[in-house]
Amino acid sequence: MTAPIPSLPLARLLSHTADAIQAVRAGHSLNDALSRCPPDARPGTQALSFHVLRWLGSAQAARAWLAPKAPPPPVDALALSALALLWPGGDAPYPAHTLVDQAVSAARQRHNASAPFVNAVLRRFLRERDAIIEAAKRDPVAAHNHPAWWAKRLRVDWPDQWQALLEANNHRAPMTLRVNARRGTAETYVKRLQDEGITAKAFGTHTVVLDLPVPVTRLPGFAQGDASVQDAAAQAAAPLLLSGGLPAHAHVLDACAAPGGKTAHLLELADLDVVALDSDPERLTRIDDTLTRLSLKARTVCADAGDPAAWWDKRPFDAILLDAPCSASGIVRRHPDVRWLRRPGDITTLAETQARLLDALWPTLATGGRMLYCTCSVFKAEGQHQIDAFLQRQADASLINQPPSPGHLLPLPDNGQEASVPALGASPDGFYFALLQKR
């Protein structure tokens, strides 16, 4: 059992967690739900919500066993939250008796008449736990804590790794830092962390993986731009795009750039003329904030990357980074709500958007220029299959062989050390990379 989540009374945190879970089950993102949570309760609520969403399939099967007729959504969300936290193997942060007591207290505060129901469901679960768990193993959604269609797609795409991928999604991702190449190296920053009582390991030149996550306010020099939080797989993008060498002040486009991590990484590594594009004005401000913290400059533009006529000045780009909208199936460890929010048809819709962006941006690339297409997805429809189709459509496009395109990176311990990408550390996020050249 992990250390208890500190701060507010558990009953209050459970109530806020139930609100968040109810919102996700209604189709809203966890981030949106947490934004409505009182600031003092947000850290604890987020921690509990992450846990619940990782075990939601099991909790739903248990509740269906114990109460086949679903209670009203607010009550159901509280019962599911408590059941997920009680599920064996979930490394719950509280003892069972405490969870039951505090869940009943939360039920009284939310809807007093529901307290006996919540109490009966949770106590019966503890009495019949072995039988319920055994039954849950026969339910694919409960066994894997993913929608059945998601598991089926992974099984087709990755017949040897699909179960490991589903298992990996239910574990917390490491907190990984990118050390500003203009300010230091991974080795020197690890020493600075040690001086602050934070243990970490260096991977490659600028990647640091913390042994345990900490608030960014504890990171030395964070406010001054000495380091940024960015997963190791995402850190591969900028070096890959620059791997062939670009002249000083080369004209580079970062399409779909928010929140700005890859834009900043490009500018940390080279003196470039970067246009950072995003269609969401609110997200565009995050790019500006990121660049300001790091004392870097790029031209930020609010526009649809798929409509160059509205923003392109006809000056060809020497390089383009297209981090396309995708299912986020490779970063479920960091966003456990994604699996419950996506629908099977979303993958087709997203693949169509990715194809539209590729075709629209390709004419803006100079002859001899490079485009790096990437998605934080492990689904081949958004990766390998997307690029295979693009190469069929574009006769002047080819995959670069030196360095070879990494292709799919999986969020598994043995899939992060391809020779064509920097040392990524243990278990990076799932990503797809294709480095293309215009002939």
Exposed, middle or buried by CB within 10 Å (0-12, 13-18, 19+), for 27? exposed
CB atoms within 10 A of CB 211: 12
Three-class SS of residue 187?
helix
For β-strands 272-278 and 299-302, DSSP reports them as: parallel
Nearest CA to 400 out of 387, 382, 410, 386 is that of: 387
H/E element, 96: helix 96-110
Which of 256, 326, 374, 376 is flagged as catalytic?
376
Residue 256: active-site member? no
At a CB cut-off of 8 Å and minimum separation 6, what does 120 contact? none
d(CA 174, CA 231): 8
What is the C-alpha radius of gyration for the chain, rounded to an integer number of angstroms?
A: 23
Task: Give the torsion through C-alpha atoms of 182, 184, 186, 190, to 10 deg.
Answer: -140
Is 256 within 8 Å of 278 (Cβ atoms)?
yes
Strand partners, 254: 276, 321
Ramachandran bin of 234, using left for φ above 0, alpha for ψ from -120 to 50, beta for the remaining angles: alpha
Residues forming the active site: 376
